[in-house]
Structure 1
Amino acid sequence: MKKSFLVPHSLLSTPKPQPRHHLRHHKPPSSASVSTNQTKWNSKTNVIITHPTLVVMESCSSMHQLRQIQARMTLTGLINDTFPLSRVLAFCALADAGDIRYAHRLFRRIPEPNTFMWYTMIRGYNKARIPSTAFSFFLHMLRGRVPLDARTFVFALKACELFSEPSQGESVHSVARKTGFDSELLVRNGLVNFYADRGWLKHARWVFDEMSAMDVVTWTTMIDGYAASNCSDAAMEMFNLMLDGDVEPNEVTLIAVLSACSQKGDLGMGKYIHEIMEKKNMRWGLSLHNALLDMYVKCGSLIAARELFDRMETRDVISWTSMVNGYAKSGYLESARRFFDQTPRKNVVCWSAMIAGYSQNDKPEESLKLFHEMLGAGFVPVEHTLVSVLSACGQLSCLSLGCWIHQYFVDGKIMPLSATLANAIIDMYAKCGNIDKAAEVFSTMSERNLVSWNSMIAGYAANGQAKQAVEVFDQMRCMEFNPDDITFVSLLTACSHGGLVSEGQEYFDAMERNYGIKPKKEHYACMIDLLGRTGLLEEAYKLITNMPMQPCEAAWGALLSACRMHGNVELARLSALNLLSLDPEDSGIYVQLANICANERKWGDVRRVRSLMRDKGVKKTPGHSLIEIDGEFKEFLVADESHTQSEEIYKVLDAIFLLSKLEDCDCEL
């Protein structure tokens, strides 16, 4: 039977796939018919295919069809020719509907597979994420002296990217150097990508600097490598060098540069990239639009982000989520919620952004309410979601939900316990008063970071266990973790709550002397609180007046509280005046000063404070309580009658109050 397919001779030895071929359609054989509704195999070949069976082969969409086509090829003898056989092998190894095991069995029956077939198997096992087998094919090529080409090394390096150790990739580099293929641009780009992908930027830069010629892929790979490793300055420097040369950036390059701008918060460079895109009249894909939108959001330019968003003809969930995230992080929760509600097809990232926005902006009730809605909508939370929800649980002392998250997701093996998630759980338990459970989670962590140690120290400090906080700090130093300014805020707070004056003073003095950390206003506030609690009011006042920066509300507030504790009216008045100059609308300052004067029976001062409140129109903020009922939070103000069952609630409260009084009487008897 005459075969009518055209195969360039070069394809049989060193194939170089080009853009997608044009198929000349013929009526397919009935035994291998393909439905027009099925997704075609997106194969790549530079061959114009005319043979009817091969035309059907290119439209194959399942292994069942593949076997039918292979059977027909076998009957007609077509399977004995190199090109048809390579197409069957390529489908089995590379198509989404293929079968790599079937491809392997087929490959073993080929007497003399060519280079294309060998690296098809390497690509197939890369796609199946079985790098050891992919790399073994490369080794067999070397041992069998199979002719190599540049693409062989590129695919071998792709396999090496999946290994945990770099040794295999370095060996491929060595072979490329010995065989001279390391001088080819394609291989050089593969080496730069391999090293950059692993974060070995010095090695990637060395290969880059040795190159005599570079294309847009080379530059983009290097820029993206720097951006992915949070080396935004180096990425920007590389982009500027690229602009100075004769290589034009493409869409992928600009996405990488915009990512670096986002990390650095460099709005100026981001706008410059935007201008380049406008001037060069580049094709703007959705990914580039989203990268530019993300840059404006992360650089805090919400107006520019909104203008860009409104001009976008096509948007996806990433576009909407960027706007939700931007407004939420800036505290514009109503705008964030409008974008969230208007998002056509929400994903878990979109839900997480809104939940985090509420949690981070002191709206924990809304955060937990939205979390329940998310679960009800059938979404499975990711780690970022749970971290935000656990923070909200800590703010509300909602121990029951926090425990459920820990037990269901972590103990239930649904989500691995990363350091970030463990830190959030520790913080939640500590803020909910269950410091023993926090310590239990801390003790089981396989890997701790500075946040882990800080969370534990802060937890002990908040629960009044100063000695345990100091012990954790000592353990931290033994493990060679260097403290930061947050560590010392927690440590000094612990000393304050535990009355450890000498230890606190020692830590305060050691901050700059031993660790190079200059005390901030928060550290001074902790020391003033420590001195004030222990009755050293004069020392506390001396410290506040000698601060190298303007005293903050926390510092004066700590001194005012200490004056109330120890009955120093004059110093209390001075502290209150300074506090009122910082926040004249805070009713708590007036109330606290009035109470101090009342305790010392200075009734004239009490009247003057209350008169000052009336003159300034300041009203006392009513006390309120928050309770959780079936996952919903109910807030009650003092003398609140707004609840529909307020009458019944007050009857129950009166009964409880009466019972408590009766118990007190029984105890006295």
Structure 2
Amino acid sequence: MITAASCSSSLLPSLQSLPGFLFKSRTFFYFHQIQNPQRFCKLFTQKRFHNALLSPQSSVQFPSHPNPDILLSYLISAVSSCSSISYCRAIHSCVIKSFNYTDGFIGDQLVSCYTRLGRADDARNLFDEMPNKDLISWNSLISGFSRRGGAVDEGKYIHGFALKLGVLWEVKLVNSLINLYGKSGYLDAVCRLVETMPVGNIVSWNLMIASHAQNGTAADGVGYFNLMRRAGMNPDDGTVLSLLEACENLGLQKLAEGVHGLITKCGLYANATVATGLLDLYAKLGRLNYSLKVFGEVNNPDKVAWTAMLAGNAVHGNGREAMELFEGMVKVGVEPDHVTFTHLLSACSHSGLVKEGKNYFDIMSQVYGIEPRLDHYSCMVDLLGRSGLLNDAYELVKRMPLKPNSAVWGALFGACRVYGNIELGKEVAERLFSLDPSDSRNYIMLSNMYSAAGLWRDASKVRALMKEKGLIRNPGCSFIEHGNKIHRFAVGDRSHPESEKIYTKLEEVIGKIRGAGFVSKTEFILHDVEQAVKEDMISKHSEKLAIAFGLLVTNAGMPIIITKNLRICGDCHSTAKLISFIEKRTIIIRDSKRFHHFAAGICSCGDYW
């Protein structure tokens, strides 16, 4: 039996040092006096009991009990739901008094809890003190660090210790290390571990695919999937989820359709997690109709599936449809969470549904007991700001109980740019500069605001400040899929092999829309140059080049799907509308904010973005 005295002082304070843990008070009771120990132990998992336990008005002792298994069972449950380091230490104290760390693997559970709460040193100290560490013990520590992310130093410590003990032959242990290194961005370490493994399993392959998908080398991840198939391994749900992540990063729709076929062939369609991942991918690739089809085939969709479908509608600007999905999920008894409300408020913001958004913000806390987080406030500021209610948005920022972050201030800054409120924009910009001095986007937006107002000297000062700080503007680029690859276009780009044909096609369609009365909106060229130069510059924006390429290489019945890394400018937006009308084509453009569906001369955003 490990006693409190044997526990490291650096890891756990004594029972007496825990606030009110043994404090004499009006509410003084003992575990063995409770007639229903199950009920008492269940209280340990409840937040209000935790608060009472640690308050100065409460005192609890945990002597031995004739039925220790009951206490152990509920203590394990309490560890898994623990949300405070104080609660974790209280449970730890009880374990030291009454149990061995090996009982029910509760020592391993405590290690995981400490790492989940960000107490790496406590986790390592407890791990070092645990006798008879087994594979589960190692995996508890490694998995905890993996979930935290960025814990590569602890990972190296574990790796070296495992190497010294000669246990790196165990596949499950190596897989845990692969997961940790992969999430920390150390792909070289991942590859070395895989190369030295005696025998890998399906989890090893899945982790290799996921590690590459998460670290900007998704194509290599797909390559490992092909190697896995050649090695005779059959994919499982973990394989498919990793592949879906790779598809999202590559942006290849044909690859997504191939994975869809694999899901059907392997009989994984009934897996709700896989189906949710697939519908989420289709929505992000611009194929919301495919997402709806997949969602309709999911039996009894859970909260995650409902939220994913709602999020898809939100980013496509379908506010009313998102609201209908929300009402539908509530009607069938699926309770929304804070993520659901984030996407719901975002949907209202993109569709200008101010009244509805305010209502959902209120019922979130009043009906569902969900306290607003920074994401929710950011959506509300965006909702009010987009609608021109800048004063209301600013007042909300000033009275919110949380400290506004860059997302909240950024939402207000964007509204200042749209409505040309220079004074408020300057104030908000200063807030953003102090929060993140290295984010070039804020300097560019302020400079653009000055330029749009004709304040060229002020704009020049901001650009000079950027140069002084060594900040570089991220150039605008547009991407379009064709022939199983992604084609990239920049402003005035002539590097594409079909450049001559692209520019000829672009001149042709611009000539058609100008014949229909279109006039370039050169006010979106924020440079102090001649009008003719502005018209030439704006006609070669990356979106226009990508549209021209799409018209050349896609069939008339297929939509042209383009991704833009920045917000689409007003001139390109108007151009896309007219091209969709004259060429009788559907054009879908995803910019940094949302999807725009252009068809028959109309955009799905209703010119509200």
Deviation of the 1:276 alpha carbon: 3.7
Quick check: 1:348 aligned with 2:202? Answer: yes
- CA shift in 2, pair 1:429/1:608, >3 Å: same
CA 243–520 in structure 1, closer or farther in 2 if over 3 Å, else same: closer
Q: In the alignment, which residue of structure 2 is the partner of 1:544?
A: 397
* Residue of structure 1 aligned with 2:383, choices 527, 530, 540: 530
Q: Does 1:415 align with 2:287?
A: no
Cα deviation for residue 543 of structure 1 reads 1.2
In the alignment, what sits opposite 1:595?
448
Percent of aligned pairs with the same residue? 32
Match of 1:456 among 293, 309, 321: 309
Which residue matches 1:487? Answer: 340
Are 1:236 and 1:257, in contact at CA under 8 Å, matched by a contact in 2?
Answer: no
Contact 1:296 1:304 (8 Å CA) reproduced: no
Which residues in structure 2 correspond to 1:129-140 (within 5 Å)?
A: none
> Are the equivalent residues in 1 in contact too, given 2:272–2:298 (CA < 8 A)?
yes
Structure 1 pair 369–653 and aligned structure 2 pair: CA distance change class (3 A): farther
Aligned in 2, Cα 1:330/1:507: closer, same or farther, shift over 3 Å? same
In structure 2, the partner of 1:518 is 371
Partners in 2 of 1:381 and 1:225 — Cα distance?
37
Is the aligned partner of 1:654 residue 2:511?
Answer: no
1:345 aligns to what SS in structure 2?
coil
Q: Read off the aligned partner of 1:538 and give its amino acid letter.
A: N
Helix, strand or coil at the partner of 1:518: coil
Superposition pairs of residues 231-250 of structure 1, within 5 angstroms:
none
Q: Is the Cα–Cα contact under 8 Å of residues 232 and 263 in structure 1 kept in the other structure?
A: yes
Q: Secondary structure at the match of 2:401?
A: coil
Residue 504 of structure 1 aligns with which residue?
357
- The number of equivalent residue pairs is 443
Query: Does the CA-based 8 Å contact 2:314-2:343 persist in structure 1?
Result: yes
Q: For residues 631 and 386 of structure 1, do their structure 2 counterparts lie closer, same or farther at Cα, with a shift above 3 Å needed?
A: farther
Q: What do the CA deviations read for 1:286-311 (whole angstroms, capped 9, x no partner)?
A: 67666665566567532431222221
More strand by share: 2
Report the Cα distance in structure 2 between the residues aligned to 1:665 and 1:239, rounded to whole angstroms: 74
Displacement of 1:238:
11
Letter of the structure 2 residue corresponding to residue 496 of structure 1: S
Deviation, 1:602, is 1.6
Deviation for aligned residue 1:372: 4.5
In terms of fraction of residues, the more helix-rich structure is 1
Aligned residue among 175, 180, 194 for 1:321: 175
Does the aligned pair in 1 maintain the 2:478–2:488 contact within 8 Å? yes
Question: Which residue pairs with 2:425 in the alignment?
Answer: 572
Distance 1:524 1:249 in 2: 43
* 1:54-99 C-alpha deviation (Å, 9 max, x unpaired): xxxxxxxxxxxxxxxxxxxxxxxxxxxxxxxxxxxxxxxxxxxxxx
Counterpart of 1:136 in structure 2 is: none
Residues 587/287 of structure 1: CA separation in 2 closer, same or farther (3 Å cut): closer
2:208 is matched by which residue type in structure 1?
M
Separation in 1, partners of 2:442, 2:424: 14
- 1:445-464 residue CA offsets vs partner (Å, 9 max, x unmatched): 21222111111111111111
- Give secondary structure in 2 for the equivalent of 1:414: coil
Counterparts of 2:288 and 2:94 in 1: how far apart (Å)? 54
**Distance in 2 (alpha carbons) for counterparts of 1:583 and 1:239:** 39
Aligned counterpart in structure 2 of residue 258 of structure 1, from 75, 88, 108: 108
**How far 1:356 sits from its partner (Å)?**
2.4
CA deviation string 1:127-160 (max 9, x = no partner): xxxxxxxxxxxxxxxxxxxxxxxxxxxxxxxxxx
Superposition deviation, residue 376 in structure 1: 5.0
Give the C-alpha shift of residue 540 in structure 1. Answer: 0.9
2:294 alignment partner in structure 1: 441
> Does 2:330 match 1:330?
no
CA RMSD in angstroms, aligned pairs only: 4.0
Aligned to 1:357: 211
8 Å contact from structure 1 (residues 223, 235) kept in 2:
no
Contact 1:226 1:232 in 2 (8 A): no
CA distance 1:312–1:655, change in 2 (3 Å): farther
Could you tell me which amino acid in structure 2 is paired with residue 498 of structure 1? S
Change (3 A) 1:509 1:225: closer
**Cα distance in 2 between the residues matched to 1:573 and 1:231:** 45
Deviation at 1:231, TM superposition (A): 7.5
Q: Map 1:602-641; keep pairs closer than 5 Å.
A: 602-626=455-479
Distance 1:583 1:405, change over 3 A: same
For residues 263 and 654 of structure 1, the distance between their equivalents in structure 2, rounded to whole angstroms, comes to 59
2:240 counterpart residue number: 386
CA contact 1:587–1:620 (8 Å) conserved in 2: yes
Q: Is the 8 A contact 1:365 1:633 kept in 2?
A: no
Offset at residue 533 of structure 1 (A): 0.6
Q: Which residue of 2 aligns with 1:142?
A: none
| In 1, Cα distance between equivalents of 2:228 and 2:268 | 17
Which amino acid letter does the alignment assign opposite residue 352 of structure 2? G
CA separation in 2, counterparts of 1:238 and 1:598? Answer: 60
1:312 CA drift (Å): 3.2
Q: Deviations over 1:543-567 (max 9, x none)?
A: 1122212211111211121122112
Q: TM-score, normalised by structure 1?
A: 0.58
Structure 1 residue matching 2:311: 3-state secondary structure: helix
- Match for 2:262: what amino acid? Y
Amino acid aligned to 2:311: A
Whole-Å separation in 1 of the counterparts to 2:387 and 2:509: 35
- Tell me which residue corresponds to 1:305: 158
**Structure 2 residue identity aligned to 1:481:** V
Q: 1:86: which partner in 2?
A: none
Cα contact 2:142–2:158 (8 A) shared by 1? yes
Tell me how far apart the structure 2 counterparts of residues 296 and 537 of structure 1 sit (CA, whole Å).
43
Please point out which of 473, 476, 480 is paired with 2:326.
Answer: 473
> What per-residue deviation string (whole Å, max 9, x for no partner) do you get for residues 470-523 of structure 1?
011111111222221111100100100110001111111222222211111111
**Residue 70 of structure 1 aligns with which residue?**
none
TM-score relative to the length of structure 2:
0.63
Amino acid at match of 2:448: N
- Distance in 2 (CA, whole Å) between partners of 1:375 and 1:393 is 18
Unpaired stretches in structure 2, ≥5 consecutive residues: 1-64, 518-581, 583-609
In structure 2, how many angstroms separate the alpha carbons of the residues matched to 1:228 and 1:543?
Answer: 38
Matched residue, 2:253? 399
Given that 1:368 and 1:389 are in contact with CA atoms closer than 8 Å, whether structure 2 keeps it comes out as: yes
CA 583–285 in structure 1, closer or farther in 2 if over 3 Å, else same: closer
Q: Secondary structure at the match of 2:472?
A: coil
Contact 2:284 2:312 in 1 (8 A): yes
Q: Equivalents in 2 of 1:470, 1:243: separation in Å? A: 51
The 8 Å contact of residues 79 and 91 in structure 2, kept in 1 or not, is answered as no
CA contact (8 A) 2:269 2:275 kept: no
Contact kept in structure 1, 2:252 and 2:484, CA below 8 Å:
no
Shift of 1:439: 1.8
Q: 1:297 to 1:425 in 2, by over 3 A?
A: closer
